[in-house]
Chain A
Amino acid sequence: MSVGNALAHRNLLYLLSLKELRTRYRKSILGWAWSLLNPLSQMVIFSIIFIYVFQAEPPVGDPSGLDKFPLYFLIGLIPFQFFSISVTVAMGAVRGGAALIKKVAFPHEHLVFSIVIAQFVTMLIEFGVLTVALLIAGNMVLPWLPVLLGVLMLLTLFTTGVALALSAANVYFHDVNYLWGITAQILFYATPIIYDPGTQLAGQPWLQQITNYNPTGSFVRAIHEVMYDLRMPGLGRWSYLAIISVGTFAFGAWAFDKLSPRFAEEL
């Protein structure tokens, strides 16, 4: 995947991303509202379960003092969904692009990039709305937004790497798709979205380590720190995230590069 080639086709990347954003919501009456409705409905469901069924104590932000579970939930859910939906849709886009791949020569990675870009835009809008909610709840997140953006950039790098590797593998083996579905579900529960490892997993150091160091868990912890607790993630966290992001992206790009020349005959 040469940089020159990708640059020459930047117009294609732009238009593919735009197409992705447009076609996704064009058919619906509510349009863009749908993209917000999904996380909101999940928030309502999980908040009821958390607060009324399990009667759990909401996590308390340190030093922010915020104690609203629905906000805690959304801060974790939005970046996780960005990751999982990007990978799922990218796998479908490469397989679904068979007609194009067989008939036209173009950089196949743009199929993946355009999905990640479109999902990134969606995520930014969701975080925009969430920022307003956090401000209303009394969390002064505005100065922390640049830090959030930094974490999100790393998350995007990581997501792109996974999407490249799995969408390429999915061309050769169609059950990669199902395996990914299961993996995504495991990751969802291994990531502190619907629970707070500090309180709910207080006596389980082993489980705490899993939530802390699995890739998506680590990203979500960092974003909780920035948006919920209002503090800077530690240097250890930053280096860990940087290493897995760059490493995953490099692997994904390498794998895609190896596998994509045969797409036209395998699809």
Chain B
Amino acid sequence: MTEVVLAVDGVTKSFRVHRERTTSLKQFIIGGGRTKYDEFLALHDVSFDVREGEVFGVIGHNGSGKSTLLKCMAGILRPEAGEVRVNRRMAALLELGAGFEPELSGRDNIHLNGAILGMTRREIAERYDEIVEFSGLEQFIDTPVKTYSSGMYVRLGFAIAINVDPSLLLIDEILSVGDVTFQAKCMEKFVEFRNAGKTIVIVTHDMTSVRNLCDRALILEHGKASEVGEPGLLVEQYTESMLGSMLDEATPGAVVRRGDGRIQIESVEMLVDGEPAVTVPDGASMTLRLRYRANRPVERPVFSIRIADQHGLTVTEPNSRVGGLVPATVEGDGVVEVDVPDVTLLPGPYTLDTEISGFHRGQIHDHVQHALRFDVVAGRSHESSGLVTLRPEWRIDP
């Protein structure tokens, strides 16, 4: 049994939302010592354990209470009920370079910030060189930090924080700051940390990083925590419920399924390496399998699929007629498979609509919206913006 290094036990935290904010003693006295406020419950009875050596993810959108939870774990906020027990030396990376003194040099700020993060004088002295080296600011270490660029600021902040040498690290979306090189450096340090058997808690809204990095995770929604579970599964559930609610909001009472029903779509699934999957790396091959049932013979059906991105934009919409495959007639149960030899979609969430129609437009037998949701994860391509990659090959003549 691995040891629990961070225990969050029934933590409840509410904030006072002041109707008329009493910020002066005068108002306070005139108001008879009472201030009017509403209680806003940011966290409601949240409990979970983080075990030694694991990477634990807390998933939540803005307003879910994840920042509050992070601050409670870090000891910045004190919960009303419940408690947070920390059994290891902890460092919280909430904001890099918080508490830098602009007038002081980088050198002095390393000492001051190290002390704020709980390091002793000896520890700072021992790690000073490493901090400077990691930050890459050797030349500027004796100039006041007010002259630093924001990038230099963040680099120095990260270098100090990471050298506190915690056994437990709390991270708040940290890997998304700075430029690409710096992010790569952070990622490297992160992996180094994980390999050293240290415990990491990531609080984020980024599903992909949770799925790729975390061993276990939980979802925080409206201040309530879900069961702790396997990240891939949780992310799946979460996106499902998010998409579901988005759909409900966007088109209230919308018919998700329509058509005359002469032939029906029974199921749609995605196969990667012959196994059902919900994610596929770009550059891999996948197969989309559609099962149908026709109670009576149907002539010349056309099967089509539509892949759309998270905003509903159509990426591609192939059909079997264009594919040159139109059976004269179908009856009973059957399977349609679409092989995609090279997934050229860039990483992100996608939805799949399916439709079976007659040979001529306008005759829809069955149409299922959002029959499938899947994620493309990083694979062959290193491109990051846009929807698809053209697998470009560059040539530059000097």
Contact = CB atoms under 8 A, between A and B. Distances in A.
Given A23-B104, A173-B23, A179-B25, A99 B115 contact: no
B116 interface: yes
Nearest to B29: A173
A12 interface: yes
Given A11-B120, A104-B92, A264-B71, A99 B99 contact: yes
B112 A9 contact: no
A16 B95 CA distance: 20
A175 B76 contact: no
Interface in A93-131: 99-106
Contacts of A15: 111-112, 115
Nearest to B95: A103
A175 B25 contact: yes
Contacts of A23: 101, 103-104
A26 B25 contact: no
Contact of B116 (A12, A27, A172, A179): A12
A27 B99 contact: no
A16 B113 CA distance: 10
A106 B116 contact: yes
Contacts of B76: 101-105, 264
Contacts of B75: 105
B191 interface: no
Contact of A173 (B25, B104, B124): B25
A16 B112 contact: yes
A174 B24 contact: yes
Interface in A156-181: 169, 172-176, 179
Given A19-B104, A23-B103, A261-B78, A106 B118 contact: yes
Given A173-B24, A264-B76, A11 B101 contact: no
Interface in A1-27: 8-9, 11-12, 14-16, 19, 22-23, 26-27
Most buried by A among B16, B74, B116: B116
Contacts of A264: 71, 76-77
Interface string B172-185: 00000000000000
Contacts of A262: 78
Interface in A63-102: 99-102
Contact of A27 (B22, B74, B103, B124): B103
A34 to B, nearest CB: 15
B238 to A, nearest CB: 28
Most buried by A among B25, B101, B112, B119: B25
Task: Specify the main secondary structure of chain B where it touches its partner.
Answer: loop
Given A16-B112, A19-B108, A22-B104, A103 B94 contact: yes
Given A22-B104, A173-B24, A175-B26, A100 B98 contact: yes
B28 interface: yes
B355 to A, nearest CB: 52
Most buried by B among A11, A174, A264: A11
Contacts of A8: 118
A62 B22 CA distance: 53
B15 interface: yes
A102 to B, nearest CB: 7
Contacts of A105: 74-76, 92
Given A9-B115, A11-B121, A19 B101 contact: yes
Interface string B50-63: 00000000000000
Nearest to A100: B99
Contacts of B94: 103-104
A160 B124 CA distance: 29
B98 A176 contact: no
Most buried by B among A15, A173, A176: A15
A175 B92 contact: no
B117 interface: yes
A176 B92 CA distance: 33
B98 A26 contact: no
A8 to B, nearest CB: 7
A197 B160 CA distance: 56
Nearest to A175: B24
Most buried by B among A174, A179, A265: A265
Interface in B220-262: none
Given A105-B75, A265-B77, A9 B25 contact: no
Nearest to A266: B16
Interface string B40-80: 00000000000000000000000000000001001111100
Contacts of A11: 115, 119-121, 124
Contacts of B71: 264
Nearest to B22: A173
A172 B18 CA distance: 13
A9 B77 contact: no
A104 B117 contact: yes
B99 A104 contact: yes
A103 B119 contact: no
A264 B117 CA distance: 16
Interface string A190-213: 000000000000000000000000
9 contacts: A11-B119, A11-B120, A16-B115, A22-B108, A27-B103, A100-B116, A105-B92, A173-B28, A175-B26
Given A169-B25, A264-B76, 15 more contacts: A11-B119, A11-B121, A12-B115, A15-B111, A15-B112, A101-B76, A104-B94, A104-B98, A104-B99, A105-B74, A174-B24, A175-B24, A179-B25, A262-B78, A265-B77
Interface of B: 15-16, 22-26, 28, 71, 74-78, 92, 94-95, 98-99, 101, 103-104, 108, 111-112, 115-121, 124
Interface of A: 8-9, 11-12, 14-16, 19, 22-23, 26-27, 99-106, 169, 172-176, 179, 261-262, 264-265
Nearest first, the 7 closest Cβ-Cβ pairs linking A and B are A105-B75, A103-B98, A12-B115, A100-B99, A173-B25, A175-B24, A261-B78
